[in-house]
Amino acid sequence: MHQVTIETGIMEANDHLAGHNRELYDEYGVYVINLMSAPGAGKTSVLEQTITRIKDDYKLGVIEGDLMTTMDADRMSALGIPAYQITTGTVCHLDARMVHNALHNFDIKGLDLLFIENVGNLVCPAEFNLGEHLKVMVYSVVEGAEKPKKYPVMFHEASVVLLNKIDLIPYAGVSLEELRRNVYSVNPEAMIFPLSCRTGEGFDAWIDWLRTHLNAKIAGKGLVGKS
């Protein structure tokens, strides 16, 4: 009981600060996407492929979250995109305060779109609101078709689920249809895009959707996000 009270306090404090983050994003007119996945599912690869396709049309920035190293931020800088690395030490997710502190050191004014790549973890990042407009989950199909049922939280929280590494389906023996059904069973409204960062297959559909979504936002029509 005592533990529940503490956890509730932590989540309330996080939500409060996330609200401040959201006010800042909205004040600057920056759309913010929180990208989440298990370690190695392909978040940074999806960012590389996505950014390469849209960077001429939108002003982009990236905040990277990792336990250690600036490797992922370096991969973003190599694309010519402003990037800031948060290193969490032992903490398995980003929280609103970490992002809030990062925003003191990383200027988001003038950006159209800020990606936040969360720490690789299939559970915890989904529980901490960062004030983002949209949660996007990357799921590597080689992790298996059953995981949406076993680890439903992130699948449930994400508005978009990118099923990555479909080039490996012939080797992994995973059924894309079963995986899709399992995602819908925990999140019937999920937008699902199967794709491969290795071959580029599936990126057209994801990029078309993202452009439409962003353009509507930029035109001030307002967009739905779960958080």
Exactly one of 108, 174, 197, 210 binds ligand GTP (CB under 6 A); that residue is 197
Whole-angstrom distance, CA of residue 19 vs CA of residue 42: 28
- Taking CB under 5 A as the binding criterion, the range among 44-52, 97-105, 169-177, 216-224 that sits at the site for Mg ion is 44-52
Exactly one of 21, 34, 37, 85 binds ligand GTP (CB under 6 A); that residue is 37
Does 44 interact with Mg ion (rule: CB under 5 A)?
Answer: yes
Does 167 interact with ligand GTP (rule: CB under 6 A)?
Answer: yes
Q: State how far Cα 75 lies from the chain centre.
A: 17
E strand or H helix at 194: strand 191-194
Exactly one of 14, 22, 36, 72 binds Mg ion (CB under 5 A); that residue is 72
Closest residue to bound Mg ion by CB: 44
- Helix and strand tally (H, E) in the chain? 9, 7
E strand or H helix at 33: strand 31-36
Please report, as a single letter, which amino acid is at residue 134. L
Whole-angstrom distance, CA of residue 117 vs CA of residue 37: 9
Binding mask 101-140 for ligand GTP (x = CB under 6 A): -------------------x--------------------
Do residues 89 and 67 lie in contact, with contact meaning Cβ atoms separated by under 8 Å? Answer: yes
Give the interface with ligand GTP as residue ranges (CB under 6 A): 37, 39-45, 72, 120, 164-165, 167-168, 196-198
Give the interface with Mg ion as residue ranges (CB under 5 A): 43-44, 72
